[in-house]
Structure 1
């Protein structure tokens, strides 16, 4: 079975591009347009999710707040969460990883590399 990925992104163009690329490679993609919607979607899907890709700067609930809420839920605490963000100044990646994200992908995403980058955080039995 193909991996189930939750994309949490408030920029519609970025959300659509990432979803298109992942769906093209057969992943099941769920979409949320802000952190609060992402949290509610993750709580609803629970163990059916394999990975969450989240922007950092979003309305309602930012990526850091989303991560803290996910880590506080026993069912979702171990779920890999990867930041996809335009924060690319020196030190940003380290700050994001120290906050507890499992990984970091800078925006704009590279369509040639994006799916391979995402696969790094998926169980090896997913294509």
Structure 2
């Protein structure tokens, strides 16, 4: 009898784990979509010319490893497929809290990317186009 109760208890535990995993998987896309909308809203509210450096500044990526781009100035807005490496140079347009809005131009393709980077990953240089 004790064996039957223990076996039944293990089956209930396994079923509960499976149900929790399914619920987590169903909730993940909704959470991700809500986070993406929040990032879009934050990018819209923090972008634009207000508060820009005039003229913009140059900066060099510092630290070690990849410096990931963010679609908005918040850690949840990371763009995991776009990053810079130490030594890369960017144009800095705007500060916001502990973030900088930047543009990077790929030297090989000429393609440009605009994003936010954490301020701790940049060493600011001088103004562009200035004396």
Asked if these proteins are the same fold (TM beyond 0.5), I'd say no
TM-score norm. by structure 1 comes to 0.24
TM-score norm. by structure 2 comes to 0.24
Q: Which has more strand, going by share of residues?
A: 2
Instruction: Compare CA radii of gyration and give the structure with the larger one.
Output: 2
